[in-house]
Amino acid sequence: MRNVQLIDLGLKDYKETWNYQEELFQNIVDIKIDNRKNNTTNKTPNYFIYVEHPHVYTLGKSGDLSNLLLNEEQLAEKGATFYKINRGGDITYHGPGQLVGYPIIDLDNFFTDIHKYLRFLEEVIIKTLAEYGIASERSEGETGVWLGVGTPFARKICALGVRTSRWVTMHGFALNVNANLGYFDNIIPCGIKGKAVTSMEAELGEKIPMEEVKEKILKHFTDLFEATFVKA
């Protein structure tokens, strides 16, 4: 069952999207629990959500609140919200111009290896960026996709943070396409001091068509995960 239902939410509130993710996630988990309890083999669905969020900062369950450099009043002034959430990782920013992808999939339909799953998500982004002439890579010990690793100009272009239970995934990646990078100045991104953040627009000097990036990501996800996308 490697069919993946594609859901594009456009620009949507973070909390509303999080709740929606939780519903889809729990639906898959419930099917798996029922299968085990009743010795049945009902198929589990897979989902892939595309979304852009209004300005928001999110802190992972192992994160340090001190990495948010704004108080409540300053958050309001910047038109941003803040949530503590149940993914891995530390603090990150989401906002317009940043492409967020939430694969909510049953890894039993693909492969049961979380490390491989994270590396495949990174590879999807690395291959997508390569199509734009952007050479990106992994940074040892730091999840995500980076440019200039090993140089004084190391900068992150895509953050990753996931949650899994019973081999079902949620949360995912956030690729800075045309994002306003000024909002990253209000946090210590991912809790890593001294590392900069970049975007495709900043690297290439022009705005990048979001729909085009979405298509390229789906192409590479399809190849790596041997998946088939269907419109939900």
160 is in an annotated binding site: yes
187 is in an annotated binding site: no
175 is in an annotated binding site: no
159 is in an annotated binding site: yes
Is 158 designated active site?
Answer: no
Are 65 and 149 in contact by the 8 Å Cβ rule? The answer is no
Are 68 and 186 in contact by the 8 Å Cβ rule? The answer is yes
184 is in an annotated binding site: no
Nearest alpha carbon to residue 192 among 154, 150, 231, 138: 154
CB within 8 Å of 42: residues ≥ 6 apart? 31, 34, 35
Active-site residue (options: 124, 187, 190, 227): 190
90 is in an annotated binding site: yes
Burial class (CB in 10 A: 0-12, 13-18, 19+), 228: exposed
172 is in an annotated binding site: yes
CB within 8 Å of 119: residues ≥ 6 apart? 138
Residue 27 in tokens: 């639906």
91 is in an annotated binding site: yes
Residue 65 in tokens: 């609140």
106 is in an annotated binding site: no
141 is in an annotated binding site: no
Are 227 and 217 in contact by the 8 Å Cβ rule? The answer is no
Are 72 and 84 in contact by the 8 Å Cβ rule? The answer is no
2 is in an annotated binding site: no
Residues forming the active site: 190
Residue ranges for the known binding site are: 87-94, 159-161, 172-174
Residue ranges for the known binding site for substrate are: 87-94, 159-161, 172-174
